[in-house]
Amino acid sequence: MTTQVSQPGAVSRREFLKLGWGLLAGVAALEGGLAAVQFSLPRVAAGEFGGVFTCGPVEAFPPGSVTPFNEGRFYLLRLDDGGFLALYRRCTHLGCAVPWDPTTNQFVCPCHASAFDQTGQVLNPPAPRPLDRFAVAIQDGQVRVDTSRPLEREQFDPSQLVYA
Amino acid sequence: MSESTSAPDPFWKKLWRSAVREPYTGDRRSRLRLVMNNLILHLHPAQVPVRTLRFTYSWGLGGLSALLVVLLAVTGAMLMFVYTPAPDQAYQSILALNTQVWYGQLVRNLHHWAGNALVVVVALHLLRVFFTGAFREPRAFNWLIGLALLLLTVVANFTGYLLPWDQLAYWGITVGAGILAYVPVVGNWLSQVLLGGPEIGPATLLNFYGLHLSVIPIAMLFLMSLHFWRVRKDGGLSVPRGVDEAPVLKDENVTTFSDLVRPEAVWATVTLTALVLWSMFVNAPLEPLANPDLSPNPAKAAWYFLGIQELLLHFHPLIGAIVIPGLALAALAALPYLSGDMDSVGVYFRSRRGRWLAAFSAAAGALLTVGYVLVDEFYLDLPALLPSLPTLLSNGVVPLAALLLGLIGYHGAMRRFFRATRCEATLSVFVLVLTGFIGLTLIGIFFRGPGMALLWPWEVAGH
């Protein structure tokens, strides 16, 4: 005799199939959702911003100068001691473009009045951290700035400066 | 014999009868059948309690929202034929719309002002439903659908805001996406996905175009259908009653056609006329072409976000832009599920005491808001007072905790000193927060000038 007696707690065929269909539907929904998220991911940045900028020869930037590079969204600064620093001009508060004010030697954000000193440190909130910077490299006397990744920092530190 | 000799019906009569099966005779039965058999009219029940027709109860705000959505769909479809969603062409196509297309400026104005009006009307609709207590069971779930529709309305406005690609659009969206980036853990990623990159660019415009023209309208259409359907399934409009009146159990019914349809048509005509007149004389704003190198001063978000932007001046961004609005939304969603201790559906402001407390709370909210903004602007510097704490705590968690404790204390004070019921105390807190939010929004619109300095409105207008 092959009569099957269902044991207490055993999974019936109906329950098994229900579970199977449920799992399949869940997997399908997950796949669809993931595909939709991946579909909407940012396309790789094309164009200028995000690449490496060659700013010019070291001598073109006298100590104490602030030079805007609008295409690269950054300022190239040369501090009085000759050190180079590239600051992303995006305000760390909400993303407005921060202009340089040469009369006060500050970056002052027009949106919410955050102010930053020449090294990008916060002088006036609401900005929560100093201006982000980009990596600077000096090769063959040329200053190069890599805008592919903004570097966040808690405060200014002389090790962030690059010397010719 | 006589039947066979009569002339066959003309073609147009057959066509008409194939579309409208029952002739309309004007008697009661015919009026009921007309509403039931017409696709548009059957959004209504065939007959309604006569009391719900009182205009000063509902103010026709739900129907007005639907009317504005239809107007937005029509004008939006017209704009599609002129607009190009690419950074180097978008602004040009708006200029062409304004100057070279017949009625182009008028259609754009109508779309712009109807979109702004929708934010106001939907918000007023929410207030009406709250103040008459109509958000409680059995209408609780429809309240949630309504909240979702309010959010969709704001998102629709926000995505449409970028499309003209002028300075207003570019920096308004920059600030908006900057706020999004403060969402814990996933914020940066969210902002990047929405913008299609680290900053606003061609991908952003295409993303917003797709959202504004397909995703959001389809979601709204679906939720609106659900919302209307639920109104009927949940027993129709709540029935208004006087402040000392017992709930009305049985009310006289009138036929929807035309005791409800007639005032609706009048209200729709009045609103449409007002909107067209307004759009004939007031142009939708258009600033110079977007310039990524130059943030305007002051850079303000769209007016319905200026309450939040004002919060940003006083709180750490995570608290001001994410936590406080999030808590407010969660509280709104939870409202119908908090236990109510009085039967006040249909009574504006719950009771006589409720009316008095609402007026008191409105005055208190206005005074406290103006007072706090002035004190925080000129005297209070929490980060300097608490230098050992990070600003997230000193300028965020600490004042937020004080704010929440203040609201709980206010609720308790209403209960204790004014002998308010829980419903009345909740109403008081709601009005306090509401006037606070309206106050912040007005300050953001009219009293913030260059560098976000506090100025008088005539000084702000001068800039």
Question: What's the pLDDT band for A46 if we cut at 50, 70, 90?
Answer: very low
Q: Is the per-residue pLDDT at A5 higher than 80?
A: no
A96 to B198: CB separation less than 8 angstroms, yes or no: no
Q: What is the DSSP letter of B54?
A: -
Residue of B nearest to A154 (CA): B390
User: Is B412 touching A (CB cutoff 8 A)?
Assistant: no
Pick among B297, B300, B318 to test the A interface (most A CBs inside 10 A): B297
Where would I find the H helices in B196-323?
Answer: 202-210, 216-233, 256-259, 261-281, 306-314, 317
Q: Is the per-residue pLDDT at A47 higher than 80?
A: no
Contact residues, chain B, for A38 at CB < 8 Å: none
Q: Is the per-residue pLDDT at A4 higher than 70?
A: no
User: Is B198 touching A (CB cutoff 8 A)?
Assistant: yes
B295 to A113: CB separation less than 8 angstroms, yes or no: no
Contact residues, chain A, for B197 at CB < 8 Å: 42-43, 45
Per-state percent for chain A, helix, strand, coil, to nearest 5? 20, 30, 50
Q: Are A124 and A155 in a shared domain?
A: yes
Q: Are A98 and A67 in a shared domain?
A: yes
Residue A86, beta-bridge partner list: A76, A134
* Residue A4 included in any domain: no
Q: Are A87 and A155 in a shared domain?
A: yes
Contact residues, chain A, for B179 at CB < 8 Å: 94
* Residue A74 included in any domain: yes
Q: Are A78 and A110 in a shared domain?
A: yes
Candidate from A42, A90, A113 with C-beta closest to B451: A113
Q: Are A82 and A29 in a shared domain?
A: no
Higher pLDDT, residue B343 or A43: B343
Query: Which pLDDT score is estimated for B1?
Result: 46
* Residue A155 included in any domain: yes
User: Is B174 touching A (CB cutoff 8 A)?
Assistant: yes
* Residue A132 included in any domain: yes
* Residue A154 included in any domain: yes
Instruction: Take residue B84 and report the two structure tokens written for it.
Output: 């190009």
Residue B402, beta-bridge partner list: none
Candidate from A42, A108, A125 with C-beta closest to B197: A42
B167-180 helix and B306-314 helix, angle to the nearest 10 degrees: 50
Q: Are A21 and A77 in a shared domain?
A: no
Pairing of strands A122-124, B47-49: unpaired
DSSP B427-439: HHHHHHHHHHHHH
Tell me the count of A-B CB pairs closer than 8 A: 86
pTM (two decimals): 0.89
* Residue A156 included in any domain: yes
Split into its structural domains, chain A has a count of: 2
What is the CATH classification number for the domain harbouring A60? 2.102.10.10
Instruction: Take residue B425 and report the two structure tokens written for it.
Output: 């105390």
* Residue A19 included in any domain: yes
Q: Are A140 and A119 in a shared domain?
A: yes
Which residue range forms the structural domain that includes residue A28?
A: 12-41
Q: Measure B343 CA to nearest chain A CA, in Å.
A: 43
Q: Are A31 and A74 in a shared domain?
A: no
Contact residues, chain B, for A72 at CB < 8 Å: none
Residue that the structure tokens 């147009």 belong to: B12
Q: What is the DSSP letter of A105?
A: T
| Structural domains of chain B, ranges and CATH numbers in brackets | 48-284 (1.20.810.10), 307-463 (no CATH)
Residue B35 and residue B256 in contact, taking contact as beta carbons nearer than 8 Å: yes
Contact residues, chain B, for A96 at CB < 8 Å: 171, 174-175, 178, 295, 299
Q: Are A32 and A91 in a shared domain?
A: no
Q: Are A63 and A129 in a shared domain?
A: yes
For residue A22, what are the CA distances in angstroms to A9, A28, A30, A31?
Answer: 20, 10, 12, 14
Q: Is the per-residue pLDDT at A45 higher than 60?
A: no
Q: Are A152 and A88 in a shared domain?
A: yes
Q: Are A37 and A58 in a shared domain?
A: no
B193 to A73: CB separation less than 8 angstroms, yes or no: no
Residue B68 and residue B278 in contact, taking contact as beta carbons nearer than 8 Å: no
* Residue A3 included in any domain: no
Residue A68, H or E segment: strand A65-69
Residue B297 and residue A100 in contact, taking contact as beta carbons nearer than 8 Å: no
Long-range contacts of B247-253, Cβ-Cβ distance < 8 Å, separation of 24 or more: B247/B343, B247/B345, B247/B346, B248/B49, B248/B51, B248/B346, B251/B49, B251/B50, B251/B51, B252/B49, B252/B50, B253/B47, B253/B48, B253/B49, B253/B50
Tens digit of each residue's pLDDT, chain B (463 residues): 445 567 888 999 999 988 888 888 989 999 999 999 888 898 999 999 998 999 999 999 999 999 999 999 999 999 999 999 999 999 999 999 999 999 999 999 999 999 999 999 999 999 999 999 999 989 999 999 999 999 999 999 999 999 999 999 999 898 888 888 888 888 888 888 898 888 888 889 999 999 999 999 999 999 999 999 999 999 899 989 888 888 777 778 999 998 999 999 999 999 999 999 999 999 999 999 999 888 887 778 888 989 988 898 888 888 988 899 999 999 999 999 987 888 888 999 999 999 999 999 999 999 999 999 999 888 887 777 777 777 788 888 999 999 999 999 999 999 999 999 999 999 999 999 999 999 999 999 999 888 778 888 888 776 6
Bond into A102 cis (ω within 30): no
